[in-house]
């Protein structure tokens, strides 16, 4: 029996932008890879861009849903579009559909470091021997950093012996700890396919390229140089 590797992912695209090499590596090693999305992904500027409320440098102008033939996305529809991208991208990375868990804490009362920590404790109880991975507590995004803080606390409390933290692409310019892993040619192909999911624009089919409308520069940088930066607890 293999030891599960559990990834706690803040937003739909963080798995591809910051964790993809590690996910592919663990899938290839035969480990059970479980990906837990812990927010709805709402509040992104991409929703306003897609709804034609803001212009987009990536798109090269302003969308007009009426002319382009799609209904403006309310919060629920926007979350559904993002979740569809998330599931499809993880499929390209090799994760089984049944191991993709959607647990939006921001829709279920208080959302903070403690609520993320409680979610992690639930998974640690379900999988007593397992590895746990999330974004770094050094992260500039508070919803990312909460998970890093929570997992680091759990490691220091002895709740897990295996914890790792990913540096977000947006923070790579900062002087932060970590070891850099570069994708192999085979891994690059899988990452490219996952990125294409986030670039797919076909509103009739429910594809709205949310990832690329949100952080196109991060996708472009990652595809030019596909790498993960990972650090250990208390670094």
Q: Where do the domains of the chain lie, and which CATH numbers do they carry? A: 5-231 (3.40.50.10320)
Average pLDDT across each block of 10 residues of the chain; the chain has 235 residues. List them in order.
Answer: 93 98 98 97 96 96 96 98 98 98 93 98 97 97 97 98 95 92 98 98 96 96 95 98
Residue 87, token pair as written in the block = 């599931």
Contact predicate 12/195, CB 8 Å: no
Torsion angle, alpha carbons of 139, 212, 190, 4, to 10: 40
pLDDT of residue 2: 84
Contact predicate 7/19, CB 8 Å: yes
- Strand partners for 35: 7, 100
pLDDT of residue 84: 98
The number of C-alpha atoms within 13 Å of 130 and in the hemisphere containing its C-beta is 22
Residue 181, token pair as written in the block = 């892993």
């Amino acid at each position: 029996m293999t030891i599960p590797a559990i990834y706690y992912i803040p937003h739909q695209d963080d798995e591809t932008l910051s964790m993809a090499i590690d996910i592919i590596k663990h899938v290839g090693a035969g480990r059970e890879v479980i990906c837990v999305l812990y927010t709805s992904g709402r509040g992104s500027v991409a929703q306003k861009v897609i709804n034609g409320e803001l212009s987009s440098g990536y798109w090269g102008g302003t969308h007009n849903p009426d002319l382009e033939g799609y209904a403006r996305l309310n919060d629920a529809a926007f979350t559904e579009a993002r979740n569809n991208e998330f599931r499809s991208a993880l499929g390209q990375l090799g994760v089984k559909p049944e191991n993709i868990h959607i647990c939006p804490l921001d829709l279920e009362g208080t959302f903070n470091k403690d609520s993320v920590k409680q979610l992690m404790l639930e998974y640690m109880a379900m999988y007593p021997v397992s590895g746990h991975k999330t974004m770094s507590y050094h992260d500039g995004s508070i919803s990312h950093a909460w998970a890093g803080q929570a997992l680091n606390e759990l490691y220091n409390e002895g709740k897990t012996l295996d914890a790792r933290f990913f540096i977000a692409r947006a923070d790579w310019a900062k002087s932060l700890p970590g070891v850099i892993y570069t994708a192999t040619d085979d891994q690059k192909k899988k990452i490219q396919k996952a990125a294409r999911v986030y670039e797919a624009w076909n509103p009739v089919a429910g594809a709205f390229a949310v990832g690329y409308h949100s952080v196109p520069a991060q996708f472009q940088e990652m595809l030019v140089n596909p790498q993960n930066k990972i650090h250990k607890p208390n670094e």
